[in-house]
């Protein structure tokens, strides 16, 4: 299959996925309009012969208005429908792979979620051009869900502040956690002090330790 045919098939299958998904989305009419554009793009790409010389951006000239219209509608698509999914249609034309910028979340939990999502997306993306329509269809549906989750994660990563690290005593004499490593209540009383370590504030709380009132502000 030449790249027009690959993109055409992806557009047709994605239109199908979106039509099914539209039932669960709040702005159904926008989604259905988008599926119509996708089907138009699929039909046109299907008729075009493979270009002898590559066009700029790889997008066939006659197709540019439809692609632009699709992009305009993407700005108003409902929540719960990641615009990244449309890049799977244009990727075979432009030769640009679908790439996600690192989110660099402050929390380890979100970083783990991000790694898992990227792995799952990579696995699913391989199946988008599977010989079987059913496999390719479910791969696109899966990618849509994964990109929706990635969008939500990107939002969370942007709003969740870094978890502060606090200092606690090692050994048996520990009842409080200290934002400041040099707090006199932490290092004082040499008889009971056997060293200190740091941990996320959440862990210190989970251990039943309380915030030190004597820590310098
Ligand atoms: Zn303190």
Question: What secondary structure does DSSP assign to 135-191, as a single string?
Answer: HHHHHHHHHHHHHHHHHHHHHHHHHSPPPPEEEEESSS---EEBSSTT-HHHH--TT
CA of 190 to the centre of ligand 1 (A): 15
CA of 177 to the centre of ligand 1 (A): 7
CA of 108 to the centre of ligand 1 (A): 25
Assign 52 a pLDDT band (cuts: 50, 70, 90): low
| pLDDT value of position 57 | 74
CA of 191 to the centre of ligand 1 (A): 17
CA of 87 to the centre of ligand 1 (A): 52
Assign 119 a pLDDT band (cuts: 50, 70, 90): very high
DSSP label at residue 199? E
Least confident of 85-99, 145-159, 177-191: 177-191
Mean pLDDT of 176-194: 84
Assign 114 a pLDDT band (cuts: 50, 70, 90): very high
Query: Is the per-residue pLDDT at 203 higher than 80?
Result: yes
Separation CA 8–CA 92 (nearest Å): 9
CA distances for 157 relative to 63, 109, 168, 201, angstroms = 36, 10, 27, 18
| pLDDT value of position 22 | 75
Separation CA 139–CA 126 (nearest Å): 8
Q: How much is the pTM? A: 0.71
CA distances for 50 relative to 14, 111, 116, 165, 212, angstroms = 22, 42, 37, 58, 70
Bigger pLDDT: 66 or 55? 66
- Short-list 11, 15, 33, 13, CA closest to 92: 11
Mean pLDDT of 86-112: 88
CA of 168 to the centre of ligand 1 (A): 9
CA of 159 to the centre of ligand 1 (A): 28
Mean pLDDT of 61-79: 76
Q: Of all helices (H) and strands (E), which one includes residue 200?
A: strand 196-200
CA of 208 to the centre of ligand 1 (A): 15
CA of 180 to the centre of ligand 1 (A): 6
Q: How far apart are the first and last CA of the chain?
A: 67
């Amino acid at each position: 299959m030449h790249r027009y045919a690959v993109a055409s098939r992806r557009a047709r299958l994605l239109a199908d996925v979106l039509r099914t998904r539209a039932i669960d989305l709040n702005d159904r009419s926008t989604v259905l309009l988008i599926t119509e554009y996708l089907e138009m793009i699929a039909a046109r790409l299907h008729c075009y012969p493979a270009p002898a010389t590559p066009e700029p951006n790889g997008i066939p000239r006659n197709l540019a208005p439809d692609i632009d219209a699709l992009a305009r509608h993407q700005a108003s698509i409902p929540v719960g429908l990641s615009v990244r999914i449309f890049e799977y249609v244009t990727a075979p034309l432009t030769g640009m792979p679908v790439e996600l910028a690192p989110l660099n979340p402050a929390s380890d939990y979100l970083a783990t979620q991000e790694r898992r999502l990227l792995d799952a997306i990579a696995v699913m993306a391989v199946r988008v051009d599977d010989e079987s329509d059913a496999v390719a269809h479910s791969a696109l549906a899966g990618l849509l869900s994964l990109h929706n989750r990635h969008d939500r994660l990107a939002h969370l990563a942007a709003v969740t502040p870094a978890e502060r690290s606090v200092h606690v005593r090692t050994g048996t004499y520990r009842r409080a956690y200290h934002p400041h490593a040099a707090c006199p209540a932490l290092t004082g009383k040499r008889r009971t002090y056997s060293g200190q370590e740091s941990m996320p504030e959440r862990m210190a709380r989970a251990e039943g330790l309380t915030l030190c009132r004597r820590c310098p502000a």
